[in-house]
């Protein structure tokens, strides 16, 4: 699927080519293809909006929070601090075309991108800003490895795991009020989906039609 996406996506990409394997994975994730990526955001209001924008009576919305440096540290993704000689954890980059001054150790390792020889546990990575949705959503990612329950493994191994969940009331009237408040703060569909699809959904919401997803 990665190969087919890379082979057939080129006519729809208006940015500079070629893209790396990691960059194609980010695009696949944002446009609906299955990947081992889980997308997060650096924006708290964006995370809240995603949690409640399509809410149903049988759902309890929540926002997850993660310290990416902790995640990479416990997975031994580190680099030497040139001044102190100590190891420091990294949030990695997946842009193989990064500028030369990026240290090579900060580029995501091939064994997190190779489907046939994967690491076990997830790590965190910064994506390159190659698509308007990635930029608008302040996207960051965890790249998951061979173990589908990698976070559960980390929870069991590290009781002090720096990841937590904030539950939000499932009350639909309260959620509607929160969505209205977010809209007054400028957090709407076109804020995080800056394209015609986002505009169409935003107009529908303004006229009282429920969102159907993206």
Query: Do the domain assignments include residue 27?
Result: no
Domain membership flag for residue 22: no
- Residue 99: per-residue pLDDT: 47
pLDDT of residue 97: 52
pLDDT at 70: 86
For residues 19 and 6, the answer to whether their CB atoms sit within 8 Å is yes
- Output the pLDDT for position 83: 55
Residue 5, in any domain of the structure: no
Q: Distance (Å, rounded) from C-alpha 95 to C-alpha 74?
A: 23
Q: How many other β-carbons are positioned within 10 Å of the β-carbon of residue 191?
A: 19
Note down the domain range covering 181. 38-187
pTM listed for this prediction: 0.77
- Per-residue DSSP letters for the chain? -HHHHHHHSGGG--S-SPPPHHHHHHHHHHTT---SEEEEES-HHHHHHHHHSS--TT---EEEEE-HHHHHHHTT-EEE-TTT--EEE--EE--TT--TTS-GGGBPPGGGT-TTS--SS-EEEEPP--SHHHHHTTEEEEE--S-TTHHHHHHHH-TT-SEEEEE----HHHHHHHHHHHHHTT-SHHHHS-SHHHHHHHHHHHTTPPP---
User: What local confidence, expressed as pLDDT, does residue 183 receive?
Assistant: 92
Identify the burial level of 100 via C-beta atoms within 10 angstroms of its C-beta, where 0-12 means exposed, 13-18 middle and 19 or more buried.
exposed
- Does 46 reside within a domain? yes
Q: How many domains does the chain divide into?
A: 1
Q: Is residue 18 part of a domain?
A: no
The answer to whether residue 202 sits within a structural domain is no
Residue 211 lies in a domain: no
Position 28 in a domain: no
Query: What's the pLDDT score for residue 102?
Result: 52
How confident is the prediction along the chain (214 residues), in pLDDT tens digits per residue?
888 888 888 888 776 666 777 778 888 888 888 888 888 999 999 999 999 988 777 788 999 999 988 888 887 665 555 555 555 555 565 554 544 555 555 556 665 666 677 778 888 888 878 788 889 999 998 988 888 888 999 888 888 888 888 999 888 899 989 999 999 999 999 999 998 988 999 999 888 887 765 5
């Amino acid at each position: 699927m990665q190969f087919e996406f890379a082979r057939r996506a080129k006519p729809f990409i208006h940015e500079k080519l070629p893209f790396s394997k990691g960059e194609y994975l980010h695009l696949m994730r944002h446009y609906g293809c299955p990947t081992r990526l889980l997308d997060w955001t650096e924006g708290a209001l964006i995370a809240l909006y995603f949690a409640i924008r399509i809410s149903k009576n049988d759902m309890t919305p929540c926002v997850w929070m993660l310290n990416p440096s902790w995640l990479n540290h416990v997975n031994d993704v580190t680099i030497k601090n040139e001044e102190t000689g100590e190891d420091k954890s990294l949030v990695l980059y997946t842009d193989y075309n990064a500028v030369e001054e990026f240290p090579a150790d900060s580029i995501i390792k091939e064994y997190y991108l190779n489907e046939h020889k994967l690491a076990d546990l997830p790590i965190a990575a910064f994506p390159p800003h190659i698509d308007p949705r990635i930029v608008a959503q302040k996207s960051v990612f965890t790249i998951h490895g061979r173990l589908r329950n990698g976070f559960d493994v980390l929870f069991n191994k590290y009781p002090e795991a720096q990841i937590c969940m904030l539950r939000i009331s499932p009350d639909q009237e309260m959620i509607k009020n929160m969505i209205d408040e977010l809209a007054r703060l400028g957090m709407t569909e076109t804020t995080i989906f800056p394209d015609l699809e986002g505009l169409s959904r935003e107009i529908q919401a303004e006229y009282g039609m429920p969102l159907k997803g993206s």
